[in-house]
Amino acid sequence: YVHCKAGRTRSATLVGCYLMSQHDKWTPEMAVDRMKAVRPHVLLHNKQWQAMRDFHKDLIGETKQ
């Protein structure tokens, strides 16, 4: 269980990164789609999207090394 005040941005970013780390082929968009299917009010802003993309880029780099 992960939650912040509204559970829309910060916690969703963290959960999205977790989902990508657990599912090798998932992109940020796929993680957000899954979260929104369960919790439709998830709302990521540019900074959260960028954090997820940066995390995804790092994950991909780890798998190539």
**For 4-54, how does the pLDDT look when each residue is reduced to its tens digit (9 = 90+)?**
777 789 999 999 999 999 998 999 999 999 999 999 999 999 999 999 999
pLDDT of 65 reads 57
- Dihedral angle over CA of 19, 22, 25, 27, nearest 10: 20
Residues annotated catalytic, as ranges: 4
In angstroms, rounded to a whole number, what is the distance separating the alpha carbons of residues 39 and 63? 30
Farthest CA pair distance, the chain = 38
pLDDT of 6 reads 72
Higher-pLDDT residue of 3, 35: 35
**Placement of tokens 């940020």 in the chain:** 28
